[in-house]
Amino acid sequence: MSTNNFPRLRFNFGFLLESSLGTSRVIELDYPTIQVSEDVTLTPLQGRLTATRTSEGVYVNGRFQSAILTECVRCLDETLVPIDIEMDELFYYPPETMPQNEDAFAFDGETGFIDLGPLMRELSLLALPTQPLCRPDCLGLCMECGQNLNEGDCNCQDDDIDPRMAKLRSLLE
Ligand SMILES: [Zn+2]
Ligand SMILES: [Zn+2]
């Protein structure tokens, strides 16, 4: 596990271990922007988190609205892509009961804290479309000169283009 450089999604749920089964705690998350890991910043992060004591540990679920800054696949501009994050995770307690499965999380009863940062990072990357676009009709870059066509036409269209090259280009687009 990496060291905790982004502790803002760390919550103390230790008291749940002493509580009766079914006890829950609701936390409203409302961050204008929050960095959850080295490579992921969510802008904003809003939603409701529920942590519930179950016989297997602490079950955490929630639904969050967010957006993530990423590169448009066509024009390569940085763009804020909206995402919906659904969290639905069991933190096993005692930790020894955790299945031998790399996707499983254990609840650290010693500190009583759950760090949702790594999970939030994973879920937000999964929620991100594989082909993020700055806008549905992004015109992309000119394949000849690299001009961002959203910002205006380049002069390449006026050039005499070998018709076979033009055909190839339309196939590539
Ligand atoms: Zn674009
Ligand atoms: Zn061009």
| pLDDT per residue as tens digits for the range 25-58 | 999 999 999 999 999 999 999 999 999 999 999 9
Give the ligand whose atoms come closest to the C-alpha of residue 159: 2
Q: Supply the pLDDT for residue 155.
A: 86
Classified as helix, coil or strand, 46 is: strand
CB neighbours of 169 closer than 8 A, spacing ≥ 6?
Answer: 143, 161
Q: What is the pLDDT of residues 50-109, one digit of tens each?
A: 999 999 999 999 999 999 989 999 999 999 999 999 999 999 999 889 988 878 889 988
Give me the count of residues in the chain.
173
Amino acid 47 reads: G
| DSSP structure class, residue 93 | S
Q: How far apart are the CA of 77 and the centre of ligand 2, in A?
A: 17
Residue 58, class by beta-carbon neighbours within 10 Å (0-12 exposed, 13-18 middle, 19+ buried)? buried
Cα of 31 from ligand 1 centre, angstroms = 27
Q: What is the pLDDT of residues 110-169, one digit of tens each?
A: 999 999 999 999 999 999 999 999 999 999 999 999 999 999 999 886 555 566 666 667
Please tell me the pTM assigned to this model. Answer: 0.77
